[in-house]
Structure 1
């Protein structure tokens, strides 16, 4: 890590940052000449900082604050080390960190540690998940009272229409996307295909699959920071909020995963289109945990505006082969690449909690050898007898809090902290107008 700074003498300051439960970057700015101390000894801030609400406020009834004296945790660098922050004007380095207790144990309320714990369970079974994510986001001109598409940096014109898979829409923002891909190279984020989507000024970028799920979640978190920061340098906003425009589809964060055995073989591949028994067990685990884990996939008030029938987001707890109306899809293609696509989450999620929850749910299905219901053929929205995702934020909070399955997936302390956070947000969001809610979520999520 020290060698990186020596090779980049132009870097004068660093940011040390960890992801809180909402996926917000929490940390400090430090002069680069003091970086060695951070690398060696870590840094400190209160446990409660990873458990702030979406405004960055303490949770009123959290035991982490007054009951425990607002004690400090120790934050140490992750294995990722230093990386550039290309969206800032001055040369700056980001040092990702995660939280530990004084005695060296991982802090159970840190979402990155929650993912690590799930991966340890896979490792104990000789299994390795392979993860890829697809991130949708909107480019938005938020300089006026009404949100709209930014003018193209090339033509100066606004295209006030959705253009799915439009090369013209991509070309209109080619300067931004060129800078984005250059920045991904600098940060070693494996950005692959970019497409325009069905929302107004909406785009999607796929990140390449990775057999290190912790790194895949890191990449998704870094990518969100980068896109939002870089857009501001270009004079407009980028937002991963689930649904900024009521009349258009919202933004998802779809996750694809397969699982390798100790010999590197895909345990979902049976040589044909149907997949193995273990794949079905994993699907069943995802479906059985879906109702109670919806709060992870839809963590904010605005998230539930996206989860409506016919708007390219699932509403029923269902699965199918090559079926985008279902919550869990098995894509077609080469059997060696047989995988599961989980389609529920919005772009506003915390990537660490997302990956931990999906992989953890799949593992419960594998451990219990569960079988899923029959795969759905045709339009899942039209099937009224299917179990449904919770229809509201409040219902999702209640299901998450009272769940019997979630403690098998996430640490109990994290579950408690997350529920306290969401109940406080639910209370105070009720005081905001729809316009104020959009303003809140536009930059934060």
Structure 2
């Protein structure tokens, strides 16, 4: 880890950063000459820093602040190590960190530790989740009073229409995407295919499948940071907010996953198109926890503007084969690659919490040998099915009072997130729609 800076003597400063409950990077800037100390000893900041609201403010009634004296946690480097920050002008390195207690135990309010605990439960059963993610985002000109598509750097023109799977839309921002792929290569983020999507200036980048779920979440978190930073270098904004334009579909973060046994074989593969009993059990677990864990898939006020019928985001708690109107889709293809696609989450999520909820619920279904309802065929929007919470307030309420989530999420994290979201709910009510968009555009 220390060799990175010796091989990159041009790096003058580093950033050490942990992920908070809202997916925000929280940390410090440090001169590169003190980097060895960061690697060896870590750093310290208050536990409460991972429990700030979307504005970066303390949670008013959090016991972490005054009741516990705003005590420090110990932040240590993750196994990821140093990596470049290509969106900054000066050569700079990022060192991801996560939080521990003074006695060396993981801090239960750290989202990365929450996901790691779920992964360890799989490992204890001799299982390994394999994860891939599809991240949608918008390129936006936010220099005026209203949001609009940026002019193409090539033509200087704005294309004010959805251009689904348009090569022309990709070519219009070729310089940005070329720089993005170069940056992903430098940061070892496995960016694969890019497509243009159904929204104004909307694109999707797929991250390749990975048999380390913690690394997959790291990749998604780092990718979001990179895209937003690099877009600003190109003179426009990139946003993962769920729905910046009322009249167009919003941005999702679709997660594909399978599970390998100790022999490296996919336990979802039955040799045919329907998948195994374990696949059905995992689907049932995901469906059973979906209502109560919606807050992790739709964590913000704006998230619920995306979850509306007929706008390419699921609203019913349902599953189906090759059915994109369902919350859970089982893609066709080679049986050896049989997998589950979880389609509820928006682009505005914390990837660690989202993945902890998906994989934790799936493992619950496998452990309990749960059976799902019949797979839906046709338009799930038009069916009488159990519904995902349709409002932020309802999702917070369901999350707070759930009996299921304690099976795979720490009590302290659940408490901290509920307090965070209740505070945000209170203050967001005072903002105009325009102010909400301005808030979420760069943060989520």
TM-score bracket for the superposition, by shorter chain length: over 0.9
* Cα separation, 1, equivalents of 2:412 and 2:405: 12
- 1:333 aligns with 333
Report Cα offsets for 1:299-357 as digits up to 9, x if no partner. 00000000000000000000000000000000000000000000000000000001111
Match of 2:111 in 1: 111
Question: C-alpha separation between the residues in 1 aligned to 2:390 and 2:13?
Answer: 45
SS of the counterpart of 2:292?
Answer: helix
TM-score under structure 1 length normalisation: 1.00
Match of 1:182 in 2: 182
The alignment partner of 1:255 has SS state of: strand
Q: Provide the rounded CA distance (Å) in 1 between the counterparts of 2:421 and 2:407.
A: 20
**Partners in 2 of 1:168 and 1:335 — Cα distance?**
35
Q: Please state whether the residue corresponding to 1:262 is helix, strand or coil.
A: coil
Structure 1: stretches of 5+ with no match in the other structure: none
SS for the counterpart of 2:293 is helix
Specify the alignment match of 2:396 in structure 1.
397
Partner of 2:196: 196
Cα deviation, residue 410, structure 1: 0.7
What SS class does the counterpart of residue 14 from structure 1 fall into? strand
Distance (Å, rounded) in 2 between the aligned partners of 1:173 and 1:408: 45
What stretches of structure 1 move > 4 A for 4+ residues in a row?
none
Tell me how far 1:170 sits from its aligned partner.
0.2
Q: Could you say which residue in structure 2 is the equivalent of 1:436? A: 435
CA distance in 2, matches of 1:2, 1:227: 27
Query: 1:21-40 CA distances to partner (integer Å, 9 max, x unpaired)?
Result: 00000000000000000000
Give the aligned partner of residue 145 of structure 2: 145
Tell me what 2:64 maps to: 64
Q: How far apart are the structure 1 equivalents of 2:411 and 2:276?
A: 32
Name the CA distance, whole Å, in 1 between partners of 2:92 and 2:154: 29
Q: 1:309 is matched with which residue?
A: 309
For structure 2, the residue ranges without an aligned partner over 5 or more in a row are none
Q: Hey, what's the Cα distance between the residues in 2 that align with 1:23 and 1:12?
A: 26
The offset of 1:271, in angstroms, is 0.6
Alpha-carbon distance in structure 1 between the residues aligned to 2:172 and 2:119: 41
Pairing of 1:261-300 with structure 2 (within 5 A): 261-300=261-300
* Distance (Å, rounded) in 1 between the aligned partners of 2:241 and 2:127: 34
Matches within 5 A, 1:24-43: 24-43=24-43
Distance 2:321 2:403 in 1: 29
Matched, 1:171 2:171: yes
The alignment status of 1:209 with 2:209, answered yes or no, reads yes
**Secondary structure of the corresponding residue to residue 186 of structure 2:** helix
Q: What residue number does 1:427 align with?
A: 426
Q: Residue 82 of structure 1: CA displacement?
A: 0.1
- Determine helix, strand or coil for the equivalent of 1:292: coil
> How many aligned residue pairs are there?
444
Q: Residue 86 of structure 2 aligns with which residue?
A: 86
Residue 382 of structure 1 deviates from its aligned partner by 0.5
Output the CA distance in 1 between the equivalents of 2:238 and 2:255: 21
Write the deviation string for residues 18-71 of structure 1: whole angstroms up to 9, x where unpaired: 000000000000000000000000000000000000000000000000000000
SS in 1 for 2:198: coil
Give the deviation of 1:409 after TM superposition.
Answer: 1.6
SS where residue 169 of structure 1 aligns?
Answer: helix
Q: Deviations over 1:220-248 (max 9, x none)?
A: 00000000000000000000000000000
Q: Deviations over 1:207-227 (max 9, x none)?
A: 000000000000000000000
Residue in 2 that maps onto 1:406: 405
1:115-148 CA distance string (max 9 Å, x none): 0000000000000000000000000000000000
Structure 2 matches for 1:233-382, cutoff 5 A?
Answer: 233-382=233-382
